[in-house]
Amino acid sequence: MGNHNRHPAYRGPWQTIRKQILTRDNHTCQIRGRRCTTTATHVDHIIPITAGGPWWDPDNLRASCPNCNIDRVDRTKQETWRTSNTRITLIIGPPGINKTTAITAQPGDLIIDYDTINAALGIEAHPDLHGPALKARGAILGELKAGRVKSKQAFIISSNPKAEGMFHHHTIKLVDPGIDQALRIIGTAGDIKGQELGKAERLVREWYRVREGGTRQVSTNSRKW
Ligand SMILES: [Zn+2]
């Protein structure tokens, strides 16, 4: 995306985030378009800011070479998921709340949950591996988006307050216990303590702050696409 410097959001913290994303993606272009030069020096917003994508969220950012950043084609043609047989449910709710209870999965259904990936691999204790784990999740999401997943149902679980704008889906399920209950749940979980608890509480408050008034607008139906 051009003219980065004009947007106030691109001053200061952006430079830090930009470097983090380039490092996370090994300075390798993640778009790999026709004119790709492989070496990434730009950072691209997957969902453009103008379309409501968060400018700061690593999930919405990827390293890009200059050519691919310029060439960003209309990707809708590649988004075969819209017409595939896999029904995609996006399950959203504040961080720290068990959202898997909202899943009605059958054997063979795909469940894309970052926390489960991390738990299965023992990654929580290894912050250096959070980037690669995100990439693994991103690769699965890419397959889903391209319509190459054969399962009947797929579930994407997200604690991102702007998840609807970031993940392709047919249906949304909201798991919202209310802020007081959400804070109580993480406070009594026992496995989160001290500084980590403070951080978790901040993330919960942030989720509610960002969604303020927005949760009521979440419909259970697909958007128009
Ligand atoms: Zn490229």
The Å distance, Cα 46 to ligand 1 centre, comes to: 14
The Å distance, Cα 31 to ligand 1 centre, comes to: 5
- Amino acid found at 35: R
Q: Measured on CA atoms in the order 156, 161, 164, 170, is the torsion positive or negative?
A: positive
The Å distance, Cα 22 to ligand 1 centre, comes to: 13
CA end-to-end distance (rounded Å), the chain: 24
Q: What is the pLDDT of residues 180-197, one digit of tens each?
A: 999 999 888 777 777 888
- The C-alpha atoms of residue 189 and residue 199 are separated, in whole angstroms, by 14
Instruction: Please give the residue that has the higher pLDDT: either 66 or 225.
Output: 66
User: Given pLDDT bands bounded at 50, 70 and 90, which one contains residue 54?
Assistant: confident
Q: Measured on CA atoms in the order 117, 123, 125, 128, is the torsion positive or negative?
A: negative
Q: What is the pLDDT of residues 93-135, one digit of tens each?
A: 999 888 988 898 899 999 999 888 888 898 878 888 888 888 8
Mean pLDDT of the chain: 81
Count of positions (residues) in the chain: 225
The Å distance, Cα 175 to ligand 1 centre, comes to: 38
The Å distance, Cα 75 to ligand 1 centre, comes to: 15
The Å distance, Cα 105 to ligand 1 centre, comes to: 37
Instruction: Please give the residue that has the higher pLDDT: either 78 or 199.
Output: 199
User: Given pLDDT bands bounded at 50, 70 and 90, which one contains residue 75?
Assistant: low
